[in-house]
């Protein structure tokens, strides 16, 4: 049995006051949550979030990392720094990084390597654009994204990776994938890993992301190969986020 995992991606939304209110709000409802819960604030707030979540079940993740070790990379943050704050997860290859900041499958694979080498668990995001889905290329796109990571770190590494399937057309649009659309792609991803190693394929958590909210979470997470959610907008309200956390 795979444990349900719900992660909140706050994207570029935070203030000191908001971090306080949101984390305290989530913590206040955690005693009735069985899922593993992670929140991913922007870099400057990781320390504050980590301090608030100490001695609780709530885990903290970063939203990005540099593939490089320390050095002359102005504006970048590496895995060691993230780990230094007691943070244990990092989102890698979010579609906003891929499309707005030109992160190729190869760069994403390097970031996964850097995270794993520093004992951070990558939340590896994959997903197709609307045009790619309409052209019938969803599986080819997702396979290419996953295969680039397998090529770089090997399939064994997926023992320590969480996959998030986020169809780009469903992100921030209010257009959620149907449970069947999501389940089909999740099953495809698991089958792709099964071709390499059945145990790893059965163990890897695959989360769904894209307009998940308290009203649709239960049906999505109820699907056989959907092990939780990577939640954007709805993770910014403690009450909504907690309802999703309880959906598993």
Instruction: Kindly list the catalytic residues.
Output: 94, 166
Helix (H) or strand (E) holding 6: strand 5-9
* Total of chain residues touching ligand 13P, rule CB under 6 A: 14
Residue 213 DSSP class: -
* Closest distance of CB 50 from ligand 13P, Å: 20
Give phi and psi for 124, each to the nearest 5. Answer: -85, 115
Q: What is the closest distance, in whole angstroms, from the C-beta atom of residue 80 to ligand 13P in the complex?
A: 24
DSSP result, 156-191: GGGGG-EEEE--GGGTTTS-PPPHHHHHHHHHHHHH
Question: Any contact of residue 6 with ligand 13P (CB under 6 A)?
Answer: no
Among 14, 115, 171, 189, interactor with ligand 13P by CB under 6 A: 171
Least spacing, CB of residue 198 vs ligand 13P, in Å? 29
Residue whose token pair is 């790619």 = 132
Site for ligand 13P in 193-212 (CB under 6 A): 209-212
Q: Does 233 contact ligand 13P by CB under 6 A?
A: yes
Q: What is the spatial distance between Cα 221 and Cα 201, in angstroms, rounded to a whole number?
A: 18
Residue 95 CB, shortest distance to ligand 13P, in Å, is 7
Contact between 94 and ligand 13P (CB under 6 A)?
yes
126 scored as a contact of ligand 13P (CB under 6 A): no
Ramachandran region of residue 247, left (φ > 0), alpha (ψ -120 to 50) or beta?
alpha
Is residue 228 part of the contact set for ligand 13P (CB under 6 A)? no
Check residue 127 for interaction with ligand 13P (CB under 6 A).
Answer: no
| 154 lies in the binding site for ligand 13P (CB under 6 A) | no
Nearby residues of 99 by Cβ (< 8 Å), 6 or more positions away: 129, 168
Task: Look up residue 136 and give its two tokens.
Answer: 């019938």
**Which residues sit at the interface with ligand 13P, rule CB under 6 A?**
9, 94, 166, 171-172, 209-212, 230-234
């Amino acid at each position: 049995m795979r444990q349900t995992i719900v992660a909140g991606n706050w994207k570029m939304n935070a203030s000191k006051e908001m971090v306080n209110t949101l984390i305290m709000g989530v913590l206040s409802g955690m005693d009735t949550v069985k899922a593993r819960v992670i929140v991913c604030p922007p870099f400057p707030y990781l320390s504050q979030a980590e301090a608030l979540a100490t001695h609780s079940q709530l885990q903290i993740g970063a939203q990005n990392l540099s593939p490089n070790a320390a050095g002359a990379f102005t504006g970048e943050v590496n895995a060691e720094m993230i780990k230094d704050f007691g943070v244990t997860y990092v989102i890698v290859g979010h579609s906003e990084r891929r499309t707005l900041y030109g992160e190729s499958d190869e760069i994403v694979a390097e970031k996964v390597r850097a995270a794993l080498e520093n004992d951070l668990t990558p939340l590896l995001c994959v997903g197709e654009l609307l045009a790619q889905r309409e052209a019938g290329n969803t599986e080819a796109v997702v396979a290419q994204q996953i295969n680039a990571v397998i090529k770089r770190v090997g399939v064994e590494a997926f023992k320590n990776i969480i996959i998030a399937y986020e169809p780009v057309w469903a992100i921030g649009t209010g257009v959620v994938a149907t449970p069947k659309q999501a389940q089909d792609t999740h099953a495809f991803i698991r089958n792709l890993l099964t071709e390499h190693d059945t145990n790893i394929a059965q163990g890897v958590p695959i989360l769904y992301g894209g307009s998940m909210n308290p009203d649709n979470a239960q049906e999505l997470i109820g699907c056989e190969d959907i092990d939780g959610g990577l939640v954007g907008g709805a993770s910014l309200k403690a009450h909504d986020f907690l309802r999703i956390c309880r959906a598993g």
